[in-house]
């Protein structure tokens, strides 16, 4: 039986990572090339000419004389951690199929758990914003899902207190194989909320398959065709195959989260879900995932602690 090429690809080994990005200087050179692939561009005036200052890692624009660094205006800005530590964190996060907790990350990087937690959330925010800009298209399977444990004496199932609702969606190709997925928190499974979600996450003309939950008919607000399947009565196994991939992805993600993380607060859940979606959507080329995440982080505005800790991750 032939091996699955995606599952058994090499990725980037730790010796390869150290050879490419083992020093701060190599990381700065790589980030400069990813942030400005066509050469330096001043963030203030857009001028392309600059000179490197001696004694400090800064570039001065020849047009407006503004001084900037390769990390200024990015997720890496104002961090006391060296850039090679950030790169190692990105490598560990992107290569861990089931995710890596902030505690394990702190042990691997040799930093405090608080610093590892903040670093991880900044990188997950970059993942969230990167994937949020590209809607799903073609044939998409969607299902309702909830995150949160059981509470004794309270209602179970849909509408139970203490649970965070989110929509799971999987885009498939013409052969029915999964290509991309998106996991997005919503305020509830109501028609108005699903219509709002579909306008942001689904391209017009998408064929949407779902169970018989009535609110999913609201995907028509985004110009999508809705194909509901009632999941009860005789022949349920046959009908369940209509949503086979979204069910599989939900099971894998929930098992990974339960096995890796001790607890997740509802306001941070969108970032954790985005982490799994980001890795899954780029699983065909593990070796390039670090470069792609670094590029996304370089295009994400700075996130101080107060924004990460206090504000909810936007949906």
* Tens-digit pLDDT profile for residues 107-131: 999 999 999 999 999 999 999 999 9
Q: What is the mean pLDDT of the chain?
A: 91
Tens of pLDDT, residues 72-105: 999 999 999 999 999 999 999 999 989 999 999 9
Q: Say if residue 298 is in the same domain as residue 260.
A: no
Quote the number of domains for the chain.
Answer: 2
Domain encompassing residue 160: 139-273
Strand order in the sheet with 67-68: 50-52, 59-61, 67-68
Regarding whether 150 and 269 lie in a shared domain, the answer is: yes
Q: Are residues 56 and 72 in the same domain?
A: yes
Are 213 and 287 found together in one domain?
Answer: no
**Residue where the block lists tokens 């709002």:** 196
155 plus 239 within the same structural domain: yes
Position 290 in a domain:
yes
Examine the pLDDT at 266 and tell me if it is beyond 70. Answer: yes
Contacts 24+ apart (CB under 8 A), 101-105: 101/260, 101/261, 101/262
User: In this predicted structure, what is the pLDDT of residue 280?
Assistant: 95
Any domain includes 1: no
- The 10 Å Cβ neighbour count of residue 13 is 12
Kindly state the tokens that stand for 315: 């949906």
Same domain, yes or no: 151 and 265: yes
Q: How do residues 33-59 score in pLDDT, each as one tens digit?
A: 999 999 999 999 999 999 999 888 899
The DSSP secondary-structure symbol of 99 reads -
Residues 148, 263 within the same domain: yes
* pLDDT 10s digits, 17-32: 999 999 999 999 999 9
Whether 164 and 75 share a structural domain: no
The 10s digit of each residue's pLDDT in 183-202 is 999 999 999 999 999 999 99
For the segment 172-190, the average pLDDT, to the nearest whole number, is 94
pLDDT band at 315 (very low <50, low <70, confident <90, very high): very low
Q: What is the pLDDT of residue 4?
A: 78
20 and 115 in a common domain: yes
Dist CA 100 CA 15 (whole Å): 20
Task: Give a yes or no: residue 8 inside a domain.
Answer: no
- Look at residues 305, 298, 285, 269 and name the one whose alpha carbon lies nearest to residue 87: 298
- 193 part of a folded domain: yes
Whole-angstrom Cα distance, residue 285 to residue 262? 29
Q: Is 195 in the same domain as 88?
A: no
pLDDT for residue 178: 95
């Amino acid at each position: 039986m032939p091996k699955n090429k995606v599952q058994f690809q090499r990725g980037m080994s730790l010796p390869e990572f150290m050879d490419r990005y083992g020093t701060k200087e190599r990381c700065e050179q790589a980030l400069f090339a990813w942030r400005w692939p066509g050469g330096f561009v001043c963030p203030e005036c857009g001028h392309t000419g600059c000179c490197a200052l001696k004694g400090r890692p800064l570039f001065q624009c020849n047009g407006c004389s503004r001084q900037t660094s390769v990390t200024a205006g990015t997720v890496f800005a104002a961090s006391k951690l060296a850039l090679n530590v950030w790169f190692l964190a990105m490598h560990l996060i992107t290569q861990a199929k089931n995710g890596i907790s902030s505690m394990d990350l702190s042990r691997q990087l040799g930093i405090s758990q608080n610093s590892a937690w903040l670093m991880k959330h900044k990188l997950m925010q970059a993942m969230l914003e990167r994937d949020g800009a590209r809607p799903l298209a073609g044939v998409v399977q969607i299902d309702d899902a909830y995150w949160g444990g059981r509470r004794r004496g309270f209602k179970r199932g849909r509408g139970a207190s203490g649970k965070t609702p989110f929509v799971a969606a999987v885009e498939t190709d013409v052969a029915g194989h999964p290509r991309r997925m998106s996991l997005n928190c919503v305020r509830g499974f109501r028609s108005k909320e699903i219509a709002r979600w579909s306008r942001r996450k689904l391209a017009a003309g998408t064929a949407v398959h779902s169970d018989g939950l009535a609110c999913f008919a609201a995907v028509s607000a985004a110009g999508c065709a809705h194909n509901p399947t009632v999941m009860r009565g005789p022949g349920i196994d046959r009908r369940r195959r209509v949503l086979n991939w979204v069910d599989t992805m939900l099971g894998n993600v929930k098992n990974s989260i339960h096995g890796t993380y001790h607890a997740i607060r509802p306001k941070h859940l969108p970032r954790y879900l985005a982490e799994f979606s980001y890795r899954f959507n780029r699983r065909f080329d593990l070796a390039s995932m670090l470069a792609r995440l670094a590029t996304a982080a370089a295009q994400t505005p700075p996130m101080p602690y107060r924004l990460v800790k206090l504000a909810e991750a936007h949906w």
